[in-house]
Chain A
Amino acid sequence: MSIKKTSLNNLHIKYGAKLVEFAGYQMPIQYKDGIIQEHKYTRSHSGIFDVSHMGQLFISGCDDLTNDLEKIFPADLKKLKTNQSKYSFLMNNKGGIQDDLIITKTFEGFLIILNAACKYNDYEVIKSKLDNQYKLNLDESLSLIALQGPEAKNVLNKVIPGCDSLKFMNGNNYVYKNEKVYITRSGYTGEDGFEISIKHSDAETFVESLIENGSKLIGLGARDTLRMEAGLCLYGNDLDKDTSPIEANLKWAIPKSRIETEFVGSEVLKNQFQSGVKKLRVGIKPDSKVIARGNTKIYNDKNQEIGKVTSGTFGPSVEHPIAMGYVDNSYSTVNTKIFLEVRGKKIPANICNLPFYKKNYVKGEINV
C-alpha cells in the first residue's frame, strides 16, 4: 500500500517539516523550530495541526438512528443537542476499547471523529452493527485542521468571523470561500481550540491565512507532548482492546444514565462499576530528570512489578519528565511511591494527579 499524503503535504514541505509515516500517511513530526518551541508556541499563542489523517464518519438515516447508536456507544446520545459533542468509545464485548472518539450530533445525523489507525476497522465494525437503512460515509474528501492555543479564537475569528461564539464541545456550520465548513470547539492539547472540517481544495489557503494571522504549523511531536501534559490518552499507547474505559480512568465519559442500559461491552463495564478494577491509569512524576518511556516497568518498594508506563516524555511547559501508565489498583493513590526501571536502574517516582498542565478550556455547557 502506498503512503497517502494529506492536502497540506506541500505546505508541510514549504515550512520545513520532517516527514514520517504515521498510520499510512506522510505526516510532519516537526517543523524548523523543533518540538519544544512548537509546544511552547501552542501554549502561548496558537498552533495549527494537520489531523486530516483522522477519520470523519458521517452517519445519517431515519429516526431510530439515535437508539441504534446507543446500542453501540456508551454515550447519552438522546440528550445530545444538535451540534453538541461527546467523548466516547467503540468497545468490544469484553469492554476493551477499540477506539476512542468524539461524537457530534449534526443537522443530518451524527459525525464521529476516529483515530487514523483505527478508522477503516471502526467503519466496518459500526456498519456491521447497524442495519442497511443508514447511510455511513467515511468522508475522505475533507481535510481536518486543528487550531489550538490561547490565541486560536482570535486567529480563527479573523478568517471565519463568528466562530468565537462556539462553546466548548459544540460545533456549527460556517462559510469559508463560499463553501460550507464544519467547526467544533475541541482539541487535544489542554488549550482552547477548534477543529475545522474543510474541503481538501480549500485547506491550503485556509491554513496560509491562519499563518498570516500569527499562527504556526505544529508537528505530531509537539502534539504528543501537549496531549501528555494535558493527561489525554493516545490510542495504541494508553488505550487498547484489552483495556476498559473504567481501567483507563475515563469513567467520567460513561454517563450514569447509561450504566444500566445495554451497549457493546455494557456487561463488563457494569461489573467493573460495581466491583472495581484491578489496574488503573495514573499520572506518574519521576523524582529526577530521567524520562520513563512507554513499556517501562513499574515496581513497588518491595521490588514487585506492579504495572507499566504507557506514555512518557519531557513536558516542555511543566519543565519536568512526565508519564502515565497502569498500576495495580492498590498503588493508584496520589503520592504513592513507585519505582521505574530505566536502563537497569530503579528510578523513584510518585503517582500524581492528571493533568500535569492546567487546562485552559473555555467553559460552556459542560456536563461531564
Chain B
Amino acid sequence: MSEVKYSKEHEWIKLDGEEATIGITKHATEMLGDIVFAELPEKGSNVDKDGTAGVVESTKAASDVYTPVSGEVIDTNQMIVDDPSKINEDPEESAWFFKLKIKDKSEMDSLMTKEEYEKFAKETSA
C-alpha cells in the first residue's frame, strides 16, 4: 500500500515501504507555466527535509524544488532533464523528480493529505 502526501512547497511524495518518489504538483506546474529546464539532485547524495533538492525553470523564472522528507537519493528521472516539457504534461505520474530511501517515516506526518493540499492550493492562489 502506498501513501501519497503533499507539501506546502507544492511537492507530492509517494511512499512505498522505505522508498519515496517525489515530484511537483499539477497546481505547481500551472503556476510556473511552461517548464524549460530541470536540475535534479545527485544520485547517492543525502538531502534534508525542506532543503533544496533541485531546480525547475519556466520561460519566466527559476524555482527551487524542495524535498519534503530526508533521505538518500537512490534514483533520478533523466526523462525530465532531457525533455522538461514532460513535467507540464504529466507532473504527478511519469514526470517524477527523484526517489529517496527515507530516514524517518514520521517526517510524513506533518505533510498534507490530498484534500488538505487541494484546499491549501486553492486558498493560496486566490
Contacts and interface: CB of A to CB of B under 8 A. Distances in A.
A349 B59 CA distance: 19
The majority secondary structure among interface residues of chain A is mixed
B47 to A, nearest CB: 16
A291 B62 contact: yes
B59 A290 contact: no
Interface residues of B, number: 14
A291 B33 contact: no
Contacts of A291: 36-37, 57, 62
A30 B55 CA distance: 22
A128 B41 CA distance: 58
Interface string B61-91: 1100000000000000000010001000000
B33 A30 contact: yes
Interface in B72-113: 81, 85
Which bucket holds chain A's interface residue count? Answer: 10 to 19
A109 interface: no
A343 B34 contact: no
A314 B36 contact: yes
A289 B55 CA distance: 12
Interface in A29-65: 29-30, 34-37, 39
B33 A35 contact: yes
B33 A34 contact: yes
Contacts of A35: 33-34, 58-60
A316 B36 CA distance: 9
A187 interface: no
Given A30-B33, A34-B34, A36-B34, A343 B55 contact: yes
Given A30-B33, A34-B34, A291-B36, A225 B59 contact: yes
Contacts of A313: 59
B57 A314 contact: yes
A291 B56 CA distance: 10
A283 B19 CA distance: 45
B61 A293 contact: yes
Contacts of B39: 290
Interface string A203-246: 00000000000000000010001000000000000000000000
Residue of B33, B61, B81 contacting most chain A CB atoms (<10 Å) = B33
20 contacts: A29-B60, A30-B33, A34-B33, A35-B59, A36-B85, A37-B34, A221-B59, A221-B60, A225-B59, A290-B39, A291-B36, A291-B37, A293-B61, A313-B59, A314-B36, A314-B37, A314-B59, A316-B36, A321-B37, A343-B55
Given A291-B37, A291-B57, A293-B61, 5 more contacts: A221-B33, A290-B37, A291-B62, A313-B59, A314-B57
7 A-B pairs with least C-beta separation = A314-B36, A36-B34, A35-B59, A34-B34, A291-B57, A35-B34, A289-B37
